Amino acid sequence: MSCRQLEGRIALYIDGALERDGARILEEHLRSCRACAEFAERLEFDRGMLRTTPMECMDVDFAALRAAIRQEIAQEPRSNLFLPALGMAAAILLAAGIAANWPRTSQVKPGAPTSIARQALACESCIREKPKPAKPRRRRASSAVPHADPDLEAALRDFVASESAPSPADESMSPIAIRIMTSDPNVVLILLQESGGGSDE
Amino acid sequence: MDEHAEQESLEAQLLARAKSGELDAFEQIIVRHERRVFALALRLTGSVEDAKDATQEAFLRMHRKIAYVDSNRSLGPWLYTVTVNICRDMGRVRQRSRVKQMDEWTAHTPDPAADPEGVFCGRQREGYLRAGLRTLPEKERAALLLREMEGLSTGEVARILGSSPATVRSQISTARLKLRKFFARKSGESL
């Protein structure tokens, strides 16, 4: 290997990046080769130059630089400082909200009606308990859910009364009626389910 | 506790205070690092004004991201990473004017043969060095400066530059040779 080819290895050696055996062989060569030894010395010299602090560092007014930084910081919106904290708070609130509203499936027995089904059952029992035909009521403008047509409600009650068994023994087999109100008071969707089966309610 | 550990502990305390919004602590951090950041930026960009801008921007970025700065690690490498990125962005923006800048530096580079002793003194030496650094590709220059000026290990330089240690070792070695060739060419010496 010629001295020119060794330059790369000398540069690695200067940086301490040459493996031990390679470094030992190179050191032997440097002891015997004046040109390579001079080259290594120059590289060391360059290294020394790189390690010196630039003279301009003495001239720069760092106090003025800091003042400029302070001014910039003062102009920046303060919210930046609290963004991470706000983000964390939002995440905690979100997690708490999800946890509070998470359906507790472990507490629901298989076959038990869901909250919607319970509402429907309550509605149905309400119809059963009041067999008298409802008086026509005035529609309230403020009511969020419009009332169904009284005739339709009466028809529903008749249907439920005819379909459900009045005896307590057949109570569990009574059909479930789910009434879904639509935005149009004249349109009501009624879903009927055969049995409340294993319902506890 | 040795001096290095003591300094790191002090810096961690300052960082914790700065994170809680104490501007005084933040300013103390600036004082501790400003010269090194400026010197690195100066040799990366080759311009005092650019280096000032880069230094200011580096500390502003630090202030904006202070909540994310790891208190258990030395601030130096974090700041050098930011500085290298800022200077790289500056270089891209001013890429068109680089050729002109290069010519200016080369023109101001002293003739080493005329005054061999003077070349390596003070400002002339710095100009000479910066002219040489400007001939290096961006990554080689950054790798060499981080290694020599900041005394970082190859692994630390690799992390900052997003390279592998092997690549960084090669970049540093190549940069040394190129720089030496530049100096030799300028001084008319044979390699």
Ranges A112-126, B11-25, B141-155: which has the least confidence = A112-126
pLDDT at A116 over 90: no
pTM for this entry: 0.63
Domain region containing A182: 110-193
**Tokens 């409802």 map to which residue?**
A134
Q: How far apart are CA B173 and CA B181, in angstroms?
A: 13
The mean pLDDT of A54-78, rounded to a whole number, is 87
Residue spans in chain B of domains classed CATH 1.10.1740.10: 1-93
Ranges A20-34, A92-106, B103-117, B175-189: which has the least confidence = B103-117
Residue A61 domain flag? no
pLDDT tens-digit map of B106-135: 545 554 434 445 545 667 788 888 999 999
Whole-angstrom CA distances from A114 to A98, A99, A128 are: 19, 19, 21
pLDDT tens-digit map of A6-62: 999 999 999 998 999 999 999 999 999 999 999 999 999 999 989 988 877 788 999
Ranges A1-5, A7-11, A57-61, A158-162: which has the least confidence = A158-162
Residues of A with CB under 8 A from a CB of B: 4, 7-8, 11-12, 14-15, 17, 39, 42-43, 46-47, 49-57, 59-60, 62, 65-66, 68-70, 72-73, 76, 80-81, 83-84
Residue A132 domain flag? yes
Residue spans in chain B of domains classed CATH 1.10.10.10: 104-191
Are B191 and A11 a contacting pair, CB within 8 Å? no
Residue A83 domain flag? no
Same domain, A114 and A188: yes
Give the count of Cβ contacts less than 8 A between chain A and B: 104
Length of chain B in terms of residues written: 191
The mean pLDDT of B159-163, rounded to a whole number, is 94
ipTM tops the 0.95 cut:
no
Ranges A157-161, B6-10, B14-18, B96-100: which has the least confidence = B96-100
Distance from CA of B177 to the nearest CA of A (A): 7
Find the CB nearest A55 among B21, B122, B154: B122
Q: Contact A60/B177, CB-based, under 8 Å?
A: no
**Sign of the dihedral defined by the CA atoms of residues B160, B163, B165, B167, in that order:** negative
Q: Looking at the domain B1-93, which fold is it?
A: Rna Polymerase Sigma Factor; Chain: A (1.10.1740)
Residue A162: predicted pLDDT: 60
Residue at which a domain ends, from A34, A54, A74: A54
CB neighbour class for B85 (10 Å; exposed up to 12, middle 13-18, buried from 19): middle
Residue A164 domain flag? yes
Chain A residues touching residue B23 (CB < 8 angstroms): 70, 73
Residue A43 domain flag? yes
Find the CB nearest A42 among B38, B43, B180: B180
pLDDT at B30 over 60: yes
Average pLDDT, chain A: 71
CATH 2.120.10.30 fits B104-191, yes or no: no
Whole-angstrom CA distances from B3 to A53, B6, B37, B80 are: 22, 5, 21, 22
Residue A140: predicted pLDDT: 46
Residue A79 domain flag? no
The structural domain count of chain A equals 2
